């Protein structure tokens, strides 16, 4: 084991070349900016169908959506559960989209495994080391969110658990930490993205929706994350955020989402990443989004 | 549901009398101070036997010990697992001690259920809502540690998940939160004990070992917790802390433990709680610990 | 300078005996629990007169009251300033009470020096090193509040600045730190009291009013602080907290204050400290407060 | 006063157009990215001369350098004080550079006023409301650093104190907050930049050196700050960071500084800001820095 670092397999000292892998035809950790969009929670077939159609049109390859939702209060919407996974499968097939959804508990692994291309470990489970060990044996990539109270070192050690089990396809995802500042829901830690890229060969992406909890900050923080080195973004969008069943205040509607894409594209180019977004005009003509 | 509070079943508004229940002959939440002691991790049959003999002599009714250990690094000792549970059962039978041990993952519930009298939910799992829901259906008491990044409200909401499932035997346990101050491992939040007692009818205990991470603070923080209203204490002790496989720096050896008991007894009396500790002298005579 | 510690003069390694000194006939840091009470801010002569009369009757030797108030908003009450200092002097003379008041800026030192027996450095000024150096040259004791974002080490280093200037009469005061938990205004760090007493020979007191920001927690946290080793308490009281011009939600009215004194007395006795509170009955008879 | 916001004068609701002002020929808050560079502390005439010559060559209009240094330990270098101010004046005259230096205490205002074009209020003084009021009466711009424990709202309220006194030339500066994460010295809060720009008309700049405390992060965090909306950057550079008397680990040497300028330029262009850096080749030919 390395003398100076507490982790080994995830370290850029140990593996000098950056980890790049392909999931459902999309390269992650390479030249392309990896884009994921979708609602916080799957709420209905209609909702997820609308989102899928929109992101397909834009050329975004992955959809997100929670079927099992970890909610602070038991009286809040807990997700559609199996029904939600079913809707994700339907739109994934119809639009040939990759799926990212969260595994809330190991007991749900068989169901979630079947419905998703990338298994998300939520912030609340980043230190669930028993789960991490089991995910080391799974043959699907893991999107490992940083815990709200996790140092960068602890985050990398959590990834080490998965790699040590044999699964090398781990995507780190910064999603905001908990600080004293109540001006935002979480304090998105852009420096953690830059630092993780300097310390580890694993791909690092950012979730600016959860990361800030505030719609107006999603655009600037997306661009900032990419400029600081993020390999991708996961952004919450919803056909009607005002009536979302969870986290509407941090979700963008489709127009708002389209509006921030040019700055994301600019940031990607500045960071040496490629990305293309396109959109059909209402009259059927293809239109490139204004940059 | 109450209009003003986010939780209901755990609230002292909803249930006006304090929750008191008995586990293996010991009353929790009532007049007696509920004492748990034992090592961070079960390391060997010999170690746990020594601890059990010592606490039995003192009249402490419950032993703690982790069989599955959530460790930040995969390269650290992960616990004896099933073997550890086995040792707990042996000493529990031999000395008629109650057992508290942690459930790290729902998949381990059948094994842990058989070996313990109280199921501990660790700080890292306090927001594992799927686990909390399942524990609402279990017929054993739950010791619910406060998450390192959990507000008091979130802690009570986590307990609400368990009560809503039908299990009313929940013990809240303050174990320190994560702050900027590196002078201690965690910042033990004594005010959370007082506040939880004012807001909820559930018993509240404190873990000053994990709560501070520093041996020299365990004594004063134990007394402070009791004076602030704690219904009990869970304290880490080890026959040889210098050579402990985990968290030795916060464990007391047997003599150090004996030395803090008088101040705990005094604090309990000040708070209107009863507690008695006794000890055999080496020459066989019964000796009350000096107060 | 000590090799291992960043500070020297404040260290218990450097000076093995605890620092005890007398201010206006009251011993601080010794056997007696040092009690200070009074309003957050001096609001009127009538208000401060009522407080002074009440604490004199109880045998509390020091009154507190802010004349210059550091307020987050410029639109909030900023203190009576010189007029406030004048009222403190009047009641100090009339009742022979010691005075503690805050120095907000060095430019105000001449005025504050004349009006107070102990100069308070507020949490916001704990890292105002220029001020600390100047206070090292002053011949009055300094009550040094811990900064909301200060580690215990930084707090002790701030005291080191004052001692290095030649003023050895420093009283450390824990007043809560800033954490993520919004259930309380500040997280009062009882372990910092115990730790500061283990590391330094200086007297350490606690401010449970500012420390919690919540009236209902002042009683339990006062007792907890004393049991953990505090040499004294500074408690906010007000004749009419509901109409206080600042921080009413953390101030006790006179009856509430009287009610918590027995538990403070009990805590002091448990910690080996002496304290006596007494009160005249309304019919003129002397009455000891119920313990 | 506004009904919904705690501040008024600093608010973008109150003044709809962004504040732009000129200092020593440089426009701040307008189209140009405002660049400040220099050492943490002025250490010698030679050091500050080298820095001044380098930044002049690059076209950077302002030099920074602390003459009075707020240091956690009294045993660390405290700054050259008046001598340091003198050196700043010398290079300011020689190279026609603007100067930013910190006012540690109001008592030092006459000296600092004479030596600087912009008066810096450090993070430790952001809540020194007496100082802020006095600076409201001063006819020089104030660079107001965010306190390590200040919410965005408290930061804006601190600026409100200055504007209320009559000084409308305030530059907000994000410099990292204190969190639990020890991977970095401070957690630089990029979202605070975006949020401050959305809430206030005042110029907002960033200090990525103090903001991260880590040399390798200064480049990516500079670009991220600009993309998120920062109107300028203050970066610590030193001719020989390894031997700096303070904060060398976060200072760039001249080559490292030159290397990050192209990405800053790119970020500025993406954000709609103008910036030009140039450099003489060693053979005397003018050379534009590679972008």
Considering chain C, what percentage of its residues have pLDDT values greater than 70?
A: 94
Interface touch A70/B127, C-beta < 8 Å:
yes
pLDDT of residue C110: 97
Q: How far apart are CA B212 and CA B210, in angstroms?
A: 6
Q: Are the beta carbons of B121 and B103 closer than 8 angstroms?
A: yes
Q: How far apart are CA D39 and CA D19, in angstroms?
A: 28
Q: Is B220 helix (H, G, I), strand (E, B) or coil?
A: helix
Query: Is D182's Cβ below 8 Å from some Cβ in A?
Result: yes
Residues of B in contact with A164 (CB under 8 A): 74
pLDDT of residue B290: 39
- The DSSP string of C79-110 is --THHHHHHHHHHHHHHT-EEEEE---GGGHH
Query: Is the pLDDT reported for residue C135 higher than 90?
Result: yes
**Chain D: nearest CA to A206, how far in angstroms?**
13
pLDDT of residue B278: 78
What six digits make up the tokens of A23?
A: 């999931």
pLDDT of residue D282: 54
pLDDT tens digits, residue range B129-188?
999 999 999 999 999 999 999 999 999 999 999 999 999 999 999 999 999 999 999 999
Burial string for D171-195 (b: 16+ CB within 10 Å, else e) reads bbbbbbbbbbbebbbbbbbbbbbbb
Work out the angle between the directed axes of helices D190-199 and D215-227 (0-180°, nearest 10). Answer: 30
pLDDT tens digits, residue range A16-26?
999 999 999 99
Interface touch A191/D212, C-beta < 8 Å:
yes
**Chain A: nearest CA to C285, how far in angstroms?**
50
How confident is residue D132, by pLDDT bands cut at 50, 70 and 90?
very high
Query: Is B246's Cβ below 8 Å from some Cβ in A?
Result: no
As a whole number, mean pLDDT of residues A243-260 equals 95
pLDDT of residue D278: 78
Substitution target in C180, C182, C187 with the highest count of A β-carbons within 10 Å is C180
pLDDT tens digits, residue range D86-95?
999 999 999 9
As a whole number, mean pLDDT of residues A125-149 equals 97
Query: Is D212's Cβ below 8 Å from some Cβ in A?
Result: yes
Q: How far apart are CA D135 and CA D167, in angstroms?
A: 7
Kindly give the residue spans of alpha helices, DSSP state H, lying in chain D: 45-58, 82-95, 109-115, 129-135, 152-164, 190-199, 208-212, 215-227, 254-270
Q: What is the mean pLDDT of chain B?
A: 94
**Chain D: nearest CA to C121, how far in angstroms?**
12
pLDDT of residue A74: 95
pLDDT of residue B36: 98
**Chain D: nearest CA to C265, how far in angstroms?**
35
Query: Is the pLDDT reported for residue C108 higher than 60?
Result: yes
Query: Is D189's Cβ below 8 Å from some Cβ in A?
Result: yes
Q: How far apart are CA C191 and CA B234, in angstroms?
A: 17
Rounded to 5 degrees, φ, ψ at C175 are -140, 25
What's the angle, vertex CA A276, arms to CA A271 and CA A279, rounded to 5? 145
Q: CB contacts < 8 Å between B and C, how many?
A: 122
* Greatest pairwise CA separation for chain D in angstroms: 63
Residues of D in contact with C1 (CB under 8 A): 75
Burial string for C82-103 (b: 16+ CB within 10 Å, else e) reads eebbbbbeebbeebebbbbbbb
As a whole number, mean pLDDT of residues D125-133 equals 96
Determine how many CB atoms are found less than 10 A away from the CB of residue B198. 14
Bridge partners of residue A200, in order along the sequence: A11
pLDDT of residue D247: 87
Residues of C in contact with A182 (CB under 8 A): 182
Query: Is the pLDDT reported for residue D1 higher than 60?
Result: no
Q: How far apart are CA D59 and CA D98, in angstroms?
A: 12
Q: How far apart are CA B172 and CA B198, in angstroms?
A: 13
E strand or H helix at B37, and its extent? strand B34-38
> Does CATH place domain D21-273 in 3.20.20.70?
yes
How confident is residue C283, by pLDDT bands cut at 50, 70 and 90?
low
pLDDT of residue C247: 87
Burial string for D227-236 (b: 16+ CB within 10 Å, else e) reads bbbbbbbbbb
pLDDT of residue A2: 39
The 8-class DSSP code of residue C61 comes to: -
Q: Is B119 helix (H, G, I), strand (E, B) or coil?
A: strand
ipTM of the prediction: 0.94
Query: Which CA distances in Å does B285 have to A244, B52, B275, B280, D7?
Result: 70, 20, 21, 6, 72
Residues of D in contact with B182 (CB under 8 A): 182
How confident is residue C280, by pLDDT bands cut at 50, 70 and 90?
low
| Beta strand pairing call for B26-28 and B21-23 | antiparallel
Q: Are the beta carbons of D271 and D29 closer than 8 angstroms?
A: no
pLDDT tens digits, residue range B94-140?
999 999 999 999 999 999 999 999 999 999 999 999 999 999 999 99
Interface touch A130/B161, C-beta < 8 Å:
no
Q: Is B126 helix (H, G, I), strand (E, B) or coil?
A: coil
Query: Which CA distances in Å does B80 have to A62, B83, B84, B210, C231?
Result: 41, 5, 5, 20, 45
Q: How far apart are CA D73 and CA B195, in angstroms?
A: 36
**Chain A: nearest CA to B155, how far in angstroms?**
9
Q: How far apart are CA D178 and CA A114, in angstroms?
A: 42
Q: Are the beta carbons of D124 and C158 closer than 8 angstroms?
A: no
Q: Is A271 helix (H, G, I), strand (E, B) or coil?
A: coil
How confident is residue B282, by pLDDT bands cut at 50, 70 and 90?
low
pLDDT tens digits, residue range A174-214?
999 999 999 999 999 999 999 999 999 999 999 999 999 99
Work out the angle between the directed axes of helices C215-227 and B254-270 (0-180°, nearest 10). Answer: 140
Question: D183: nearest CA in chain B?
Answer: B180
pLDDT of residue A278: 78
CA nearest neighbour of D142 among D96, D109, D111: D109
pLDDT of residue A277: 86
pLDDT tens digits, residue range B28-78?
999 999 999 999 999 999 999 999 999 999 999 999 999 999 999 999 999
What six digits make up the tokens of C85?
A: 């200092």
Work out the angle between the directed axes of helices B215-227 and C215-227 (0-180°, nearest 10). Answer: 140
Q: How far apart are CA C124 and CA C103, in angstroms?
A: 11
Query: Is C75's Cβ below 8 Å from some Cβ in A?
Result: no
How confident is residue B277, by pLDDT bands cut at 50, 70 and 90?
confident
pLDDT of residue D284: 53
pLDDT of residue C5: 81
Q: How far apart are CA A110 and CA A9, in angstroms?
A: 27
User: Which CATH number fits the domain A21-288, given the four candidates 3.40.50.300, 3.40.50.1820, 3.30.2130.10, 3.20.20.70?
Assistant: 3.20.20.70
How confident is residue A291, by pLDDT bands cut at 50, 70 and 90?
very low
In sequence order, what are the residues at sequence separation of 6 or more whose Cβ sits closer than 8 angstroms to the Cβ of residue C4?
none
Q: How far apart are CA D11 and CA D20, in angstroms?
A: 15
- In this structure, the dihedral spanned by the alpha carbons of residues A75, A79, A81 and A86, taken in order and rounded to 10 degrees, is 160
Q: How far apart are CA C11 and CA C177, in angstroms?
A: 22
Query: Is the pLDDT reported for residue A280 higher than 90?
Result: no
Work out the angle between the directed axes of helices B254-270 and B45-58 (0-180°, nearest 10). Answer: 40
Helix, strand, coil percentages for chain B (3-state, nearest 5): 40, 20, 40
How far is C-alpha C45 from the chain's CA centre?
21
What six digits make up the tokens of B259?
A: 């030395």
The 8-class DSSP code of residue D196 comes to: H
Residue indicated by tokens 């209901």: B8
Q: Are the beta carbons of A55 and A91 closer than 8 angstroms?
A: no
Q: Are the beta carbons of B121 and B134 closer than 8 angstroms?
A: no
pLDDT tens digits, residue range A70-112?
999 999 999 999 999 999 999 999 999 999 999 999 999 999 9
Query: Which CA distances in Å does B101 have to A119, B66, B87, D109?
Result: 30, 6, 12, 62
For the whole model, what pTM was predicted? 0.95
Q: How far apart are CA A246 and CA B115, in angstroms?
A: 39
How confident is residue D4, by pLDDT bands cut at 50, 70 and 90?
low
What six digits make up the tokens of A165?
A: 């089990």
The 8-class DSSP code of residue D123 comes to: G
Query: Is A154's Cβ below 8 Å from some Cβ in B?
Result: yes
Query: Is C192's Cβ below 8 Å from some Cβ in B?
Result: yes
């Amino acid at each position: 084991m390395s003398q100076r670092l507490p982790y080994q397999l995830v370290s850029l000292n140990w593996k000098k070349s950056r980890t790049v892998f392909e999931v459902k035809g999309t390269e992650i950790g390479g030249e392309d900016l990896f884009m994921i969009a979708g609602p916080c929670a799957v709420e209905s077939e209609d909702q997820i169908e609308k989102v899928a159609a929109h992101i397909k049109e834009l050329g975004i390859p992955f959809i997100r959506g929670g079927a099992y939702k970890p909610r602070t209060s038991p009286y809040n919407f807990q997700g559609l559960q199996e029904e939600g996974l079913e809707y994700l499968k339907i739109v994934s097939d119809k639009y040939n989209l990759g799926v990212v959804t969260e595994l809330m508990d190991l007991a749900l692994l068989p169901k979630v495994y079947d419905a998703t291309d990338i298994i998300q470990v939520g912030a609340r489970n980043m230190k669930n080391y028993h789960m991490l060990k089991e995910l080391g044996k799974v043959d699907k990539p893991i999107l490992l969110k940083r815990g709200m109270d996790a140092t960068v070192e602890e985050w990398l050690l959590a990834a080490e658990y998965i790699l040590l089990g044999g699964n090398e396809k781990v995507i780190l995802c910064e999603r905001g930490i908990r600080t004293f500042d109540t001006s935002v829901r979480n304090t998105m830690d852009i420096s953690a993205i830059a630092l993780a890229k300097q310390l580890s060969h694993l791909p690092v992406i950012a979730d600016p929706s959860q990361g800030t909890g505030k719609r107006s900050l999603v655009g600037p923080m997306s661009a900032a994350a990419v400029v600081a080195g993020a390999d991708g973004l996961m952004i919450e969008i919803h056909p009607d955020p005002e009536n979302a069943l969870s986290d509407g205040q941090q979700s963008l509607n489709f127009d708002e989402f389209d509006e921030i894409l040019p700055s994301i594209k600019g940031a990607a180019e500045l960071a040496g990443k490629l990305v293309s977004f396109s959109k059909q005009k209402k009259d059927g003509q293809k239109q490139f989004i204004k940059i």
